[in-house]
């Protein structure tokens, strides 16, 4: 019998509608192409416009026993090993909003990894939940945060007996995954559900050389940002509740609905259906090809003076349980340049663009279906850039003395005195940073890297926080979330 995973019911349903010349007396107004700007039509192609259809079409969403979207979501649940899965068209951001709304009701306490994605604290602004933070392990030399260590989580849970849910991130942006089985054990022993933001690991569990998915390691709910590391279109993601979890699936279902558009993009939904099929049916073989290409890339990196591949030597460090081979993290300090300068040179000289550059590193993201030849080309670009930039640094043409970013403030540092919701939605005013000590923040501000928020809505502003902002500004770090990026002013709760 044909494996049901090799079908893509939603993709097939809208492709069929798009190709049969139906009378399109419905939105969108481009009517499958004729009403679209010719430039757009030429750029994205008529097929994409033909498949851009609304919800509620007869034969797609109406007049069928089980809609193709529900069948597609059930196939995703089966492929990932979930009890139930939801397709999201506003990214993993939508998933975090839905999870906080469903699991962190007004006045409830939840334990949250301090450097969780902004959408978790934004979700608490929506829901009215109160966070108690657990810090991730931190690499001082590289300025990179890793994952939450089970013993730290246990200590925070012991001090927060009212908490019933824990939100952690695994893997990190840099591909480091947490000891999810141990985190789940700790959370469950303290009567809490474990939510894992696995946005960076939609491919986890689909090849023996990539880490296992948190869904199969005891997590209760898991978010996968399918567009990041798998084959779906930007802004699409999947939220899963694990088999055997006692989370209230209907509460999550309701929450997913209130944070979604009434007109979700059929293209995004179809791309999720296709990405799931590709991972389920061909994932292992495609990832195998990526691994082959990666081996060549690593050889080129190892032969490059000044470049060090991080990953192997991270193993064993606190907060590093496993490492995703699809994240290639280079320590570029040996070239004499910062990661920013190296990343810019790579783009300018070879048209190769990294995912991220930091003070000390450059991060390259591999996909599940890389062609070895393409990665060989990237390897050559990395090598040549390293040689040329080292020569330029030696000749004084690149400023090797760019100030390094001050040591990031360790979180949690500030006391949460009112719920993020009250701080964010209540009356607020912008005041000079120099007058902010003692006031309650109405905004979130994180220096990048490492992206650990130094201040969140509802927290009291301390002298150490103000000092930290000053050193970040001096070092030229990027500040995420600040309403006034120069930080001459800061938005605080009024009164
Ligand atoms: C850990 C984590 N969670 C959630 C998100 C939000 O994902 P999306 O961009 O799909 O909304 C991100 C985005 O970078 C992220 O890094």
Q: Is 197's C-beta closer than 6 angstroms to any atom of ligand 1? A: yes
Q: Is residue 423 helix, strand or coil? A: helix
Q: List, in sequence order, every beta strand (DSSP E) within 170-277.
A: 176-177, 193-197, 221-224, 237-242
CA of 247 to the centre of ligand 1 (A): 22
Q: Which part of the chain has CATH 3.40.640.10?
A: 64-272
Of the listed ranges 38-52, 335-349, 441-455, 480-494, the least confidently predicted one is: 441-455
Mean pLDDT across 10-24 = 95
What's the pLDDT at 472?
78
Q: Which CATH number does 64-272 carry? A: 3.40.640.10
What's the pLDDT at 410?
54
Q: Is 93's C-beta closer than 6 angstroms to any atom of ligand 1? A: yes
Calculate what percentage of the chain has a pLDDT beyond 70.
Answer: 96
Calculate what percentage of the chain has a pLDDT beyond 90.
Answer: 82
* Protein residue with least CA distance to atom 13, ligand 1: 117
Per-residue model confidence as pLDDT tens digits over 441-454: 999 998 766 677 88
Mean of all residue pLDDT scores within the chain: 93
CA of 481 to the centre of ligand 1 (A): 15
What's the pLDDT at 406?
47
* Protein residue with least CA distance to atom 9, ligand 1: 91
CA of 206 to the centre of ligand 1 (A): 21
Contacts (Cβ under 8 Å, ≥6 apart) of 229: 200, 201, 202, 203, 326, 365, 367, 368
CA of 233 to the centre of ligand 1 (A): 14
Q: Is 225's C-beta closer than 6 angstroms to any atom of ligand 1? A: yes
CA 172 to ligand 1: nearest atom: 1
CA 236 to ligand 1: nearest atom: 10
Does residue 70 carry a pLDDT above 60? yes
Confirm if 482 and 453 have CB atoms less than 8 A apart.
no
Q: Quick count: other Cβ atoms within 10 Å of Cβ 427?
A: 8
CA of 6 to the centre of ligand 1 (A): 28
**Multiple choice CATH, 286-394, 3.10.180.10, 3.10.450.50, 3.90.1150.150, 3.40.50.2300:** 3.90.1150.150
CA of 385 to the centre of ligand 1 (A): 30
Q: Is 92's C-beta closer than 6 angstroms to any atom of ligand 1? A: yes
Does residue 312 carry a pLDDT above 80? no
DSSP string, 44-96: H-HHHHHT---S--BTTTBSSSS-HHHHHHHHHHHHHTEEEEEEESSHHHHHH
Of the listed ranges 297-301, 395-399, 480-484, the least confidently predicted one is: 395-399
Instruction: Among 89, 92, 229, say which to mutate for ligand 1: greatest number of ligand atoms within 8 Å of CB.
Output: 92
Per-residue model confidence as pLDDT tens digits over 73-114: 999 999 999 999 999 999 999 999 999 999 999 999 999 999
Mean pLDDT across 459-482 = 84
Q: Would you give the DSSP letter of residue 440? A: B
Q: Which CATH number does 420-493 carry? A: 3.90.100.10
Q: Is 199's C-beta closer than 6 angstroms to any atom of ligand 1? A: yes
Q: Is 91's C-beta closer than 6 angstroms to any atom of ligand 1? A: yes
Distance CA 417, CA 394 (A): 51
Q: Which part of the chain has CATH 3.90.100.10?
A: 420-493
Q: What band does 393 get if pLDDT is binned at 50, 70 and 90?
A: confident
Q: What band does 142 get if pLDDT is binned at 50, 70 and 90?
A: confident
Per-residue model confidence as pLDDT tens digits over 397-417: 876 655 455 455 454 468 889
What's the pLDDT at 249?
98
Q: Of the candidates 186, 150, 153, 204, which has an alpha carbon nearest to the alpha carbon of residue 322? A: 204
Does residue 268 carry a pLDDT above 50? yes
């Amino acid at each position: 019998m044909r494996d049901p995973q090799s079908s893509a019911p939603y993709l097939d349903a809208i492709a069929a509608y798009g190709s049969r010349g139906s009378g399109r007396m419905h939105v969108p107004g481009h009517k499958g192409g004729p009403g679209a700007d010719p430039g757009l039509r030429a750029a994205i192609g008529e097929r994409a416009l033909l498949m851009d259809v609304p919800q509620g079409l007869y034969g797609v969403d109406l007049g069928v026993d089980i809609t193709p979207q529900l069948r597609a979501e059930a196939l995703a649940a089966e492929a990932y090993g979930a009890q139930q899965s939801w397709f999201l068209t506003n990214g993993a951001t939508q998933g975090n909003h839905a999870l906080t709304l469903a699991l962190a009701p007004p006045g409830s306490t939840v334990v949250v990894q301090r450097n969780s994605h902004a959408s978790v604290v934004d979700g608490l602004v929506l829901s009215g939940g109160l966070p108690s933070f657990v810090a991730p392990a931190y690499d001082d030399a590289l300025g990179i945060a890793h994952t939450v260590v089970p013993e730290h989580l246990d200590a925070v849970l012991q001090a927060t007996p009212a908490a019933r849910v824990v939100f952690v991130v695994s893997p990190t942006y840099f591909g480091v995954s947490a000891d999810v089985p141990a985190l789940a054990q700790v959370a469950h022993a303290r009567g809490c559900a474990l939510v894992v933001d696995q946005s960076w690991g939609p491919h986890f569990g689909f090849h023996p050389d990539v880490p296992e998915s948190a869904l199969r390691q005891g997590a209760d709910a898991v978010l996968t940002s399918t567009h990041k590391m798998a084959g779906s279109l930007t802004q699409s993601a999947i939220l899963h509740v694990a088999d055997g979890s006692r989370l209230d699936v209907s509460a999550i279902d309701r929450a997913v609905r209130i944070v979604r558009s009434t007109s979700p993009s059929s293209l995004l939904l179809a791309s999720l259906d296709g990405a799931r099929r590709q991972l389920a049916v061909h994932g292992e073989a495609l990832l195998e090809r990526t691994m082959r290409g990666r081996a060549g890339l690593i050889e080129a990196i190892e032969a490059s003076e000044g470049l060090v591949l991080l990953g192997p030597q991270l193993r064993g460090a606190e907060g590093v349980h496993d490492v995703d081979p699809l994240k290639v993290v280079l320590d570029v300090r040996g070239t004499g340049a910062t990661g920013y300068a190296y990343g810019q040179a790579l783009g300018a000289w070879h048209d190769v663009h990294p995912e991220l550059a930091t003070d000390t590193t450059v991060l390259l993201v591999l996909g599940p279906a890389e062609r070895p030849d393409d990665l060989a080309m990237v390897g050559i670009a990395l090598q040549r850039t390293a040689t040329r930039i080292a020569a330029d640094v030696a000749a004084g043409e690149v400023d090797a003395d760019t100030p390094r970013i001050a040591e990031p403030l360790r979180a949690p540092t500030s006391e949460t005195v009112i719920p993020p919701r009250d701080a964010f939605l209540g009356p607020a005013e912008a005041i000079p940073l120099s007058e902010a000590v003692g006031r309650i923040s109405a905004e979130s501000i994180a220096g990048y890297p490492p992206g650990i928020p130094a201040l969140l809505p509802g927290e009291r502003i301390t002298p150490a926080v103000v000092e930290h902002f000053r050193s970040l500004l001096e070092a030229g770090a990027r500040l995420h979330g600040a309403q006034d990026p120069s930080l001459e002013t800061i938005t605080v709760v009024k009164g």
